[in-house]
Structure 1
Amino acid sequence: MVVGAAIVLGGRVLACARAHPPPTAGKWEFPGGKVETDETEVDALIRECREELGVAIAVGDRVGGDQVLGHGRAVLRVYLASLCGPAQPTALEHSALRWLAADELDQVDWLPADQPIVAELRPYLVSAGAAPGRPVSS
């Protein structure tokens, strides 16, 4: 199982450019990673965002359905999330970070597994953009 965080702030979602491996370097994704055997999906997201971005998050509802990865060897699940505390994300494991509004989502080259999630997220960002800074509900 692989989990991703759609971190939303003020009607924008955080997108991360992969630094490696070479076949996916430069492609954009939601931060996250593999769920360890002793973790829940939420625990894994919290750990991954701390390791990859240096931030604490609160995890909310799922976005979209399961996305099959690696010829059926893994499943990606993405959750809405919000930042906890004053720390801002830092690209500790990615080559770049961008905050994208609903009308900017197509400006980056998303990984194939993230593309259906982006489509599901677009209406949420439009409604969240009407209330800047509104936190994600859990």
Structure 2
Amino acid sequence: MEQKIVVGAALYDDGRLLAARRSAPPELAGGWELPGGKVEPGESCEDALVRELREELGVEAELTGRVPGEWALPRGHVLRVWRARLVSGEPKPLEDHDELRWLGAGEIWSVGWLEADVPAVAAVAGA
């Protein structure tokens, strides 16, 4: 079975990291994650992430580098994360999220990250 790739963005603006609270599916609702989504067939990870940020948050972002590592997710998926910076737009929870929060350096662990996102967030935060 081919591995399904999920891409996530460590989206920064002014030194703050964007966290997104899931509203769907029910088993993930209320948990916080790095925004992103599934890579479509024939799509590069980078293109998928830029598209997902546009669809989910209504923003244009520039990817500035891959965060080393990848993390196993349920159902045979794997998470890969890129650092990104906001180019234009103000993030809004348009799809699959009901709240967004900008977290300063001392606030990274102030939200309840989804268990699958914790190792990726730790890598992003340099913890």
Work out whether 1:61 is the aligned partner of 2:65: yes
Q: What is the match of residue 86 of structure 2?
A: 83
Q: What is the match of residue 110 of structure 1?
A: 113
Instruction: Give secondary structure in 1 for the equivalent of 2:70.
Output: strand
Deviation at 1:61, TM superposition (A): 1.1
Q: What is the match of residue 21 of structure 1?
A: 25
Q: What is the match of residue 48 of structure 1?
A: 52
Instruction: Give secondary structure in 2 for the equivalent of 1:113.
Output: helix
Structure 1 segments of 4+ aligned residues over 4 angstroms from their partners = none
For 1:122 and 1:101, locate their aligned partners in 2 and report how far apart those are by CA, in whole Å. Answer: 11
Work out whether 1:34 is the aligned partner of 2:30: no
Runs (5+) with no aligned partner, structure 1: 125-138
Number of equivalent positions: 122
Contact 1:58 1:83 survives alignment (8 Å): yes
Deviation readout 1:16-53 (Å, 9 max, x if unpaired): 00001111101000111110112100000011000000
Q: What is the match of residue 94 of structure 2?
A: 92
Deviation at 1:123, TM superposition (A): 4.0
TM-score (normalised: structure 1): 0.84
Give, as a single letter, the amino acid of the residue that structure 1 aligns with 2:90.
Answer: Q
For 1:105 and 1:6, locate their aligned partners in 2 and report how far apart those are by CA, in whole Å. Answer: 11
Deviation at 1:55, TM superposition (A): 0.5
Instruction: Give secondary structure in 2 for the equivalent of 1:46.
Output: helix
Identical-pair percentage: 51
Q: What is the match of residue 6 of structure 2?
A: 2
Give, as a single letter, the amino acid of the residue that structure 1 aligns with 2:53.
Answer: C
Deviation at 1:64, TM superposition (A): 3.8
TM-score (normalised: structure 2): 0.90
Runs (5+) with no aligned partner, structure 2: none
CA RMSD of aligned residues (A): 1.4
Contact 1:64 1:116 survives alignment (8 Å): no
Give, as a single letter, the amino acid of the residue that structure 1 aligns with 2:91.
Answer: P
